[in-house]
Amino acid sequence: MGREKTIMDSSKVFFAEIGDMTYFTARFFREAFKPPFEFKELLRQCYNMGNRSLLLVGVTGFILGLVFTIQSRPTLMEFGAESWMPSMVSISIVREIGPVIIALISAGRIGSGIGAELGSMRVTEQIDAMEVSGTNPFKYLVVTRILATTLMLPLLILIGDAIALFGSAIIENLKGEVSFQLYFNQVFDALSFADLIPATIKSFFFGFAIGLVGCYKGYYCSKGTVGVGEASNAAVVYTSMLLFVIDFIAVFVTDIFYG
């Protein structure tokens, strides 16, 4: 009996969370298209999120390209197919590995930062003060951050993919004596719009999910400093799970259209 009650309580909390997040999402779309628009704050958030995440994304992409090529090369050599390395690496990174890994890294960097920042503002009653002063805190704090993550994550993924391919080209140049020109010629021959378009579209959804969950957890943070840590941690955990769900849906839909 006690176990059934615990399961029922957990289910209620889960569905209540889904309902609250759905309302939060609907409110975002309602506020996003209603003037006045906070363009200055949006640009500031885009700069902060993009500039501060660029080094982390670049290092991650470079190491990803190095490791993926080093690990894959011996297997391809066993079958005498090392000439397929540029094609395999480029398709794998652009289609799946690059967007997912960089989105997860950004969830830890950007999502947790948004959750902690808005949580701190809620705990210190800055959001309440904005409401009292007549400012719309949801439009100024939430809408700008969600739009910024939605716009900036595709750019970060594009840069990360390019750096990952450059890292892979370095390994091929050192181990396989393949020139950079030949390597990237094979890369661009292997890639098509069927690879680029779905990956780009789902990267916008990745960015939207990161901003949405981070803002939701921070904006409705519970009182106390403990609540700030919980909001930051929950933002990363929930976003990571949501990214995999979005990725599965994107791959499934892509398979229907291009399969």
Is the confidence at residue 6, as pLDDT, over 70?
no
Is the confidence at residue 1, as pLDDT, over 60?
no
Q: What integer pLDDT is reported at residue 86 of this predicted model?
A: 86
pTM of the complete model: 0.90
Contacts of 118 (CB under 8 A, 6+ apart): 127, 141, 142, 145, 214, 215, 217, 218, 219, 221, 231
Chain mean position to CA 68? 21
Q: What integer pLDDT is reported at residue 179 of this predicted model?
A: 85
pLDDT tens track for 68-107 = 999 888 888 888 777 888 888 999 999 889 999 999 999 8
Rounded average pLDDT over 192-201 = 87
> Cα–Cα distances in Å, from 204 out to 31, 70, 88, 108, 226?
19, 30, 24, 17, 32
Alpha-carbon distance of 77 to 11, in angstroms, equals 51
Alpha-carbon distance of 17 to 38, in angstroms, equals 28
Rounded average pLDDT over 35-53 = 88
Rounded average pLDDT over 201-212 = 94
Rounded average pLDDT over 242-250 = 92
In this predicted structure, which of 50-59, 170-179, 237-246 has the lowest mean pLDDT?
Answer: 170-179
On whether the CB atoms of residues 169 and 120 are closer than 8 A, the answer is: no
The mean of the pLDDT values for the chain is 86
Is the confidence at residue 256, as pLDDT, over 80?
yes
pLDDT tens track for 208-231 = 999 999 999 888 887 777 778 888
